Amino acid sequence: MKINLHSILKAYDYRLPEELIAQKPARPRDSARLLVYNKKLKTAKFDTFKHLGKYLPKNAVLVFNQTKVVPARLKLKKETGGVVEILYIKNDNGIIHALCNKHLAPDSKLQVAGAKQLHFTVLKKVNQFYYLKPSFPSAQIKSILEKYGQTPLPPYIKHSPLSEKQKREQYQTVFAKNGLSVAAPTASLHFSKSLIASLKKQGIEVEYLTLNVNLGTFAPLREENLKTGKLHSETFEIEKPTADRLNLAKKQGRPIIAVGTTVIRTLESAAHNNKLTKLSGDTRLFIQPGYKFKFISGTVTNFHVPKSSLLMLISALVGKSVLLNLYKKAISKKFRFFSFGDGMIILP
């Protein structure tokens, strides 16, 4: 089957003034602007995240991704004395997969800058990823990154004024707990502790799961993705008590509102016959128009990059023409876009 990647992606393109790409998050978090779209009524309203509770159905369940962003950029010294920077992607049975900004020779050693006793041996390169063997137990990689690494920001945030300390605090959800992610579940960045508390007080159920976000979330779509119907692989986990509560809510007909595309991919990957059955593993699920949602009812989401799998995912939920029209409205209202930008809620 021949696929015209260019024509497909062109259908998901839109023009965005560069000044609307947010370089830092809204402060306070819940002061970010909110576009409210009701699918049933086909209405669009504008507000702020602080007032989200006004729009949620009384018996709704909000589901968040509690993954934690790690300082995944790490400076290393080559044996020749040169300095390289790697971006940690994942730990695969003791072997670290990473990207590097320079060529690395097989069997060469890379010392962690500032820690002579810590180094990696380059094993091989597969596609764009280097496979590195650490001199320390690979389970310690999280603590090594926390001590010596720097927080990665998405490639379109080119002029962030944030210090490393500010990045670690602001490019992180207030409930971050588990996992090793190289990017934040950004729709959740708008939620303050006080907003979550007020939503619970009004009767909104709040649940958490974990999906480890990797660099694939920023990767451009390739012809292979469209042919296979699969994206990059990401690991997820839903604790059984959480799954039991969500399954009960679904059975009762309550709206399941996924906060972010990572939660959508997790719940839809875990669901079979409208019930969560696969509670952990890898997902390569590529949701695009024509997909029939099995578990979620609506979503809180950010505004996504043109021609991206994330834009296609939200189009599957609301319709491409409707979504691009909502984007036009947001642009006309000078909404801030992408990871640090404003957001929207799509109600059932």
pLDDT band at residue 318, thresholds of 50, 70 and 90?
A: very high
**Is residue 316 pLDDT above 90, yes or no?**
yes
pLDDT band at residue 33, thresholds of 50, 70 and 90?
A: very high
CATH 2.40.10.240 positions along the chain are 73-148
**Is residue 218 pLDDT above 80, yes or no?**
no
CATH 3.40.1780.10 describes domain 5-69+167-347:
yes
**Is residue 85 pLDDT above 90, yes or no?**
yes
Q: What is the mean pLDDT of residues 60-80?
A: 96
CATH 3.40.50.970 describes domain 73-148:
no
Alpha carbon 120 to its chain's center? 28
* Nearest to 64, CA basis, from 240, 251, 261, 224: 261
Q: Phi, psi (5° rounding) for residue 176? A: -55, 135
Tokens of 91: 């730990």
CATH 3.40.1780.10 positions along the chain are 5-69+167-347
Residue with tokens 């993954």: 67
| pTM, rounded to two decimals | 0.93
pLDDT band at residue 216, thresholds of 50, 70 and 90?
A: low
How many CB atoms are closer than 10 A to CB 116? 9
Q: What is the mean pLDDT of the chain?
A: 95
Beta-carbon contacts of 109 under 8 Å, excluding residues fewer than 6 positions away, are 79, 119, 120, 121, 122
- Per-residue burial over 246-283, b = 16 or more CB atoms within 10 Å of its CB, e = otherwise: bbebbeeebbbbbbbbbbbbbbbbbbeeeebeeeeeeb
pLDDT over 90, % of the chain: 86
Tokens of 4: 């015209």
Opening angle at CA 37, ends 33 and 40, nearest 5: 165
In whole angstroms, how large is the CA radius of gyration of the chain?
Answer: 21
Higher pLDDT, 60 or 89: 60
**Is residue 332 pLDDT above 80, yes or no?**
yes
**Is residue 130 pLDDT above 70, yes or no?**
yes
Three-state SS at 162: coil
- The predicted pLDDT at position 135 comes to 95
Alpha carbon 82 to its chain's center? 33
pLDDT over 70, % of the chain: 99
Beta-carbon contacts of 206 under 8 Å, excluding residues fewer than 6 positions away, are 61, 62, 64, 196, 199, 200
**Strands 61-65 vs 256-259: parallel, antiparallel or unpaired:** parallel
- What one-character DSSP code corresponds to residue 21? B
